[in-house]
Amino acid sequence: MSLNSNPIQRSKGREWLAVYSRSLVPAVLFLLVAGAMVTSTGSGLAVPDWPLSFGKVMPPMQGGVFYEHGHRMVATSIGLLTIILAAWTSRVEPRSWVRRLTWGALGLVILQGVVGGATVLLRLPVWTSALHACLAQGFFLVIVFLALAHSPSWEKRDTELPSDSRLPRLALFTTLAIYGQLVVGAVMRHMNAALAIPDFPTVFGGVLPPHWTPEILVHFAHRVGAVIVTVLIVATALAARHAPGSLRTPARCMLFIVALQVLLGASIVWTSRQVAVATLHVVVGAVLLAVSMVLTVKSRRAVPDRQKAPSTFFAPGEVPA
């Protein structure tokens, strides 16, 4: 694939591409807000057809239609912005793996739209609804990763960790655990099981449910997952306490974010799934996942090259253009 042959123009183009890629992060986060509002307000079938809305491009934005069609409008805008990102990256980015990942992001957002449409046409089955939510979190992670890869700090790599540091591995385990927790949370939301256990921190007044249903099982698993994630985040923060500031800061932020996330989760039960609280719970979970992923990438890249496998988070010049 041909790149801009003028080095000055290419450098300038990459600087602006870095700004553009960073601007996509809050834009995609807003898409997550819009999608969470659809579920929180029960508006998933407010528009029963797809890809049009009541056979129109722009239906009256009233009631649940405002949330469902508004979500579609935001998603379409993100799709167009991702097309621009892919085309721009192909033109000015010399790293082949970044170009491929950007086209992968475009494929992911297209798949996300198709799954969202199928969810409506199939009348909100749990499996497609949860898949739609999980793909959204995955797409957000890819966009955050691309913004990190385009940042000036990517090529500086002025932070080093001892080769025996536990931080990279702990951060990776934590990121995987958070994503798994978000998957369980998505299934719980779309099973309408958020209030299957109606009290918190107790469980039907005790420690374990006195009886089990699929909804109670998923809800209880989500609570257990929250404990596991919290323990991993505390362990990660402890492992990062002597690390350079660029690694300590995200680790400490995760402590605050997970505390807020637990409070929001409890508040969903206490407020009987109030819309704003339920929506914030989804969005804060996405932010926690993104921060954990950033810490994972930065900490693994901070380990000296000789200690890393060749395929681990490419260094400048490690993968040919």
Residue numbers annotated as active site: 68
Query: CB neighbours of 119 closer than 8 A, spacing ≥ 6?
Result: 44, 125, 128, 129, 132
**Residue 119 in tokens:** 């969810």
**Residue 115 in tokens:** 């799954």
Tokens 């799709």 belong to residue = 79
Query: CB neighbours of 58 closer than 8 A, spacing ≥ 6?
Result: 69
Residue type, 23: S
Alpha carbon distance 75, 156 (integer Å) = 34
Tokens 């790293």 belong to residue = 95
Which of 320, 148, 258, 1 minimizes the C-alpha distance to 266? Answer: 258
Query: CB neighbours of 30 closer than 8 A, spacing ≥ 6?
Result: 74
Alpha carbon distance 190, 133 (integer Å) = 9
